[in-house]
């Protein structure tokens, strides 16, 4: 029995594109859940990361806390929150927001820390205030690494957002849990393929965005390959 062939047949079956359980609706639910979770995590992690990166204070605590958050089992945290707040989407939002904070926080402060201190000193020397340095120097130069953190967080959320269906009839994870319950392995594999395709699409989007946010001056100043012979002076 070829489960992959059956999964492809399930994906192209017109019956799966109509009704409340339609693939299009599930994809939009999964994407919307990912976006909201990413925004919630960003509201916490980005300002904190900028403060740490700009001042250099609290980095050790941030690294330790991020590592602790990464070590928390998502399903265990999801179950714990669900026992507190009940069945629904609140528990998945809380659990996956906690999961998304570490990579965004790391991208935010690493982007600032990667900037040459001479650049910051030059900005102060010309009379820029601390807020101007953050907005006009550190933020543009650190944005590519921040986008990298958002990219990593997004992929983690997309992959683990399937657990939202553990507590609610929501998202692409519903195909996995429903298929497991009825032993419909074609539905389970089809749902998994949809999650993979969504993750790949978002990966491509953030990869392109990460390249676009590089300041023109930085991109123009990158060294190019020059043949060594052309740098030798004539004798």
Task: Give the model confidence (pLDDT) of 187-224 as tens digits.
Answer: 999 999 999 999 999 999 999 998 888 877 665 445 44
d(CA 72, CA 17): 36
For the purposes of burial, counting CB atoms within 10 Å of the CB of 78, is it exposed (0-12), middle (13-18) or buried (19 or more)?
buried
Q: What pLDDT sits at residue 127?
A: 83
Distances in whole angstroms, Cα of residue 213 to Cα of each of 97, 110, 160, 164: 25, 16, 28, 32
Q: What pLDDT sits at residue 72?
A: 80
Cβ atoms of 163 and 173 within 8 Å: the answer is: yes
User: Domain 21-216 - what CATH class?
Assistant: mainly alpha
Task: Give the model confidence (pLDDT) of 145-169 as tens digits.
Answer: 999 999 999 999 999 899 888 888 8
More confidently predicted of 169 and 38: 38
Residue 80 has pLDDT above 60, yes or no: yes
Domain boundaries, the chain: 21-216
Q: What pLDDT sits at residue 100?
A: 92
146 Cβ contact partners less than 8 Å away, ≥ 6 residues apart:
46, 49, 104, 107, 108, 111
């Amino acid at each position: 029995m070829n489960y992959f062939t059956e999964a492809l047949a399930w994906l192209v079956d017109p019956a799966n594109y109509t009704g409340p359980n339609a693939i299009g609706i599930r994809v939009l639910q999964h994407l919307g859940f990912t976006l909201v979770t990413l925004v919630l995590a960003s509201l916490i992690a980005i300002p904190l990361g900028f403060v740490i990166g700009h001042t250099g204070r609290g980095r050790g605590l941030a690294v330790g806390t991020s590592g602790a958050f990464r070590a928390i089992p998502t399903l265990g945290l999801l179950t714990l929150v669900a026992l507190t707040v009940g069945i629904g989407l609140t528990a998945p939002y809380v659990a996956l927001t906690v999961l998304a904070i570490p990579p965004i926080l790391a991208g935010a402060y690493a982007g600032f820390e990667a900037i040459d201190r001479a650049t910051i000193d030059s900005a102060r020397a010309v009379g820029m205030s601390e807020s101007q340095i953050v907005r006009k120097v550190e933020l543009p130069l650190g944005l590519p690494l921040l986008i990298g953190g958002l990219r990593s967080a997004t992929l983690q959320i997309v992959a683990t957002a399937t657990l939202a269906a553990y507590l609610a009839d929501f998202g692409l994870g519903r195909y996995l849990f429903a298929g497991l319950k009825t032993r419909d392995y074609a539905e389970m594999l089809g749902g998994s393929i949809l999650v993979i395709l969504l993750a790949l699409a978002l990966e491509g989007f953030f990869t392109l965005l990460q390249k676009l946010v590089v300041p023109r001056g930085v991109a123009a100043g990158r060294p190019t390959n020059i043949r060594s012979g052309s740098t030798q002076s004539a004798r």
